[in-house]
């Protein structure tokens, strides 16, 4: 035993005894935006998650420059989004963005040997995609790569205590809405919904096409959503004018004069109806399901969620939807029906549940909750690295002792 302790002490001098002994790069790999923070220098990176490849001129555009080309290019320019609907859709394009981030921070080869990269991703990515992400950063020269769930990092970044008793986080991003109940740094249950920024924008486009016969661009619909989208009525609401391609009605007669483009006015009430419908169809049922399944796993979690200062915290771009906290709170308090289906899609049973009141709040800095959470989570990653090193020392020592005994 004394030999083991002496040998272990000798080996421990090779450990980085402080968290400052490493270089730390935190990333929020989002559908709409890619954020990164080089903690040791304080430098930041924040660009849209877009790549445009011009095969005619053999050029590649990134970030804002690439996003500005959406709906404005010919077939020679292909616009790619590495992350779509909460999944990694194009690993090669993602690798190019990560290379751009490494180049942006000018990380030297020597520094990379001590570089630890913490990447926050949507909850829906599978183990193969997680491993691919870790492989990409190590391929770029980093010492280690760690993948964490965005919804957990968002809760930590929003100021919630993920290491204590149960809290609920709702992270509504561009490609997915991740909902989870978190307790003691573990996710009791989580669910991912496609009802997020991109989906809501597409629903607004479809509404305008269906009711106004005008096909509007993706960027124009997104600007409209940011300007007037809401879930509850607000003061000083005004119509929004938007232009697009006029689609002739089926009832239009031959010889009738038509215009190529048309500008229409959309009222906040119209968009609010679209938003409320989608939230009642997707977000509210998902929150209820996560609550129900989390309570079935840990009965005490519901009591923790009801405590003052706990409840539900909304992060991500969705937190900027006007009245989202009030709307979710009111909807959860309503009575609702839960139906069970068989394999054929037939209703097997229908149960009626009473609503319940929860404290619902929006984060103060929702767009940066995930990246802030990654920065705060460094202590846990550092502990994990130390535990791995201690285990390797014990394992190596055990092998040496075994070899000595054999001799």
pLDDT at 254: 55
pLDDT at 298: 78
Geometric angle at alpha carbon 284, from 29 and 177, rounded to 5°: 5
* Pairing of β 177-183 and β 186-193: antiparallel
**Dihedrals φ, ψ of 17, to 5°?**
-75, -10
Geometric angle at alpha carbon 317, from 316 and 321, rounded to 5°: 120
pLDDT at 405: 67
Whole-angstrom distance, CA of residue 153 vs CA of residue 292: 23
Whole-angstrom distance, CA of residue 216 vs CA of residue 290: 36
pLDDT at 258: 57
Sign of CA dihedral 121, 126, 128, 131: positive
Write the CB contacts of 197 (distance below 8 Å, at least 6 apart in sequence): 31, 32, 172, 173, 174, 175, 222, 225, 317, 318
Walk along the chain (407 residues) in steps of 10 and give the mean pLDDT of each run.
38 55 92 93 93 88 89 84 84 91 91 93 85 91 93 95 92 93 92 93 95 92 95 93 84 58 94 97 94 82 81 94 96 81 73 83 95 95 87 73 68
Nearest to 176 by CA among 123, 248, 114, 112: 123
pLDDT at 1: 38
pTM: 0.84
Whole-angstrom distance, CA of residue 339 vs CA of residue 333: 19
pLDDT at 160: 93
Length of the chain: 407
Tokens of 150: 């965005």
* Contact of 213 with 309, CB cutoff 8 Å: no
* Contact of 120 with 149, CB cutoff 8 Å: yes
């Amino acid at each position: 035993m004394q030999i083991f302790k002496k040998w272990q002490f000798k080996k421990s001098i090779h450990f980085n005894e402080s968290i400052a002994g490493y270089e730390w790069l935190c990333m929020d790999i989002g559908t709409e935006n890619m954020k990164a923070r080089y903690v040791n220098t304080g430098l930041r990176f924040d660009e849209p998650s877009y790549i445009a490849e011009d095969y005619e001129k053999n050029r590649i555009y990134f970030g804002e420059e690439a996003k500005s080309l959406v709906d404005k290019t010919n077939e020679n320019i292909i616009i790619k989004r590495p992350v779509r609907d909460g999944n990694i859709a194009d690993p090669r394009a993602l690798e190019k963005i990560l290379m751009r981030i490494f180049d942006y921070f000018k990380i030297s080869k020597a520094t990379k040997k001590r570089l630890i990269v913490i990447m926050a991703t949507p909850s829906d990515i599978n183990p193969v995609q997680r491993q691919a992400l870790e492989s990409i950063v190590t391929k770029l020269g980093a010492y280690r790569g760690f993948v964490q769930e965005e919804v957990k990092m968002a809760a930590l970044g929003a100021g919630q205590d993920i290491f204590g008793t149960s809290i609920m986080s709702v992270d509504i991003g561009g490609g997915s809405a991740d909902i989870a109940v978190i307790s003691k740094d573990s996710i009791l249950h989580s669910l991912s919904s496609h009802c997020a920024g991109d989906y809501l924008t597409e629903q607004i486009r479809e509404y305008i096409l269906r009711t106004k016969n005008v096909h509007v661009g993706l960027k124009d619909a997104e600007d409209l959503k940011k300007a007037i989208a809401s879930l509850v009525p607000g003061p000083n609401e005004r119509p929004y004018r938007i232009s697009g391609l006029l689609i002739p009605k089926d009832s239009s007669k031959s010889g009738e004069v038509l215009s190529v483009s048309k500008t229409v006015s959309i009222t906040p009430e119209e968009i609010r109806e679209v938003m409320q419908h989608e939230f009642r169809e997707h977000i509210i049922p998902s929150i209820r399901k996560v609550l129900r399944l989390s309570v079935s796993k840990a009965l005490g979690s519901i009591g923790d969620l009801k405590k003052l200062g706990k409840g539900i915290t909304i992060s991500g771009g969705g937190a900027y939807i006007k009245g989202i906290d009030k709307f979710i709170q009111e909807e959860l308090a309503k009575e609702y029906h839960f139906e069970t289906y068989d394999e054929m899609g037939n209703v097997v049973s229908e149960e009626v549940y009473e609503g319940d009141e929860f404290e619902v709040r929006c984060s103060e800095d929702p767009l940066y909750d995930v990246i802030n959470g990654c920065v705060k989570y460094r202590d846990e990653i550092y502990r994990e690295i130390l535990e791995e090193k201690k285990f390797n020392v014990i394992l190596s020592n055990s092998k040496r002792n075994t070899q000595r005994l054999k001799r």
